[in-house]
Chains A and B, each alone.
Chain A
Amino acid sequence: MDNNLNNIFKKAIYIPENRLSNDILLAISDKDRKNAHIKLWVNSTIGVFSFVGFFPAFKLLLSDFAQSGFYQYLSLVFSDGHITSYWKEIILSITESIPMISLTLSLALVFIFILSLRFIARNIRVRPSLLAV
């Protein structure tokens, strides 16, 4: 009984037009391309902003280093021969004089810029067509 019904039902299948598979592939290919463009645009914008933002952030970092006395502590390390007797204090002073906020900001911008470059490189590579056999 089941086999009979199987055969009967199989005969009543609706057949799609031949071009349907190809149309589906074209639609997917189109969506894929659009997604790639959006990603490229977003990452390019992020890349430009992080690159432009890096210069004032770096300027701020240099000025914070100068104001915190970091350079003076650092020069002491190389100029004072008796540094070994108070090395713990000098290391602590150097650490405390590092401008953490502007340093974090600058490094974050560099990191974001590198990441966006990586995404851009991935997106602009030649994408194989989904329609290729």
Chain B
Amino acid sequence: MDEDIKLINLYISGDDKVLKQIIEKYTPQIYNFVRRFVGSDESNDVTQEIFIKIWKNLKKFNKDKSSFKTWIFVIARNTVIDFNRKRKVVVFSSLDDEENNFEENIKDEIILPDEALQKLQDSDFLNSLLEKLPEQYKTVLILYYQEEMTFNEISQVLKKPLNTIKSHHFRAISQLRKIIAPNVD
């Protein structure tokens, strides 16, 4: 059985202490996700709010519907949207539906040249590039490369069709390439 499911079952059966394990395991991932869409000053508060929601709804988690990680990222995404809506910042807005017509067969080799990869080794540079991407694209890249989610899981988190997610991924990399091109000598 999945380690997360074991922990959740223990918590539901009355072992409150496993909550600490769950929180310690997912705090870095959720914080990193939140930090991308919320200013550094508010990231701690929003992360805290997300975990309070997770704690309140833990007994409602349905392992047949999604993995625990996907479930908590759905909560994180919704909380970030609510938070930014209050601040009147538009996040995760829908991009054009043309992406639904996206062809699945994308060739990886067209993505980023070695020179660009070399430039991206600088974390601050990468983070500044990510800031320039549309929120949807940035989300897909973060969930795919940092959280190592599959496109299927990302489509569950963002509630978008699988092809749209693949399209976002492709376009995100293309945009990254365009942005980075003038910087690559």
Contact = CB atoms under 8 A, between A and B. Distances in A.
A14 B112 contact: no
Chain A contact residues: helix, strand, loop or mixed: helix
Contacts of B48: 20, 23-24, 27
Contacts, number: 93
A4 B17 CA distance: 38
A132 interface: yes
B16 A128 contact: yes
Chain B interface size band reads 35 or more
Interface in A85-133: 127-128, 130-133
A25 interface: yes
Interface in B97-117: 108-109, 111-112, 117
Contacts of B117: 4-5, 8
Contact of B47 (A20, A25, A132): A20
B31 A130 contact: no
B126 A12 contact: yes
A20 B141 CA distance: 25
Interface of A: 1-2, 4-6, 8-17, 20-21, 23-25, 27-28, 31, 127-128, 130-133
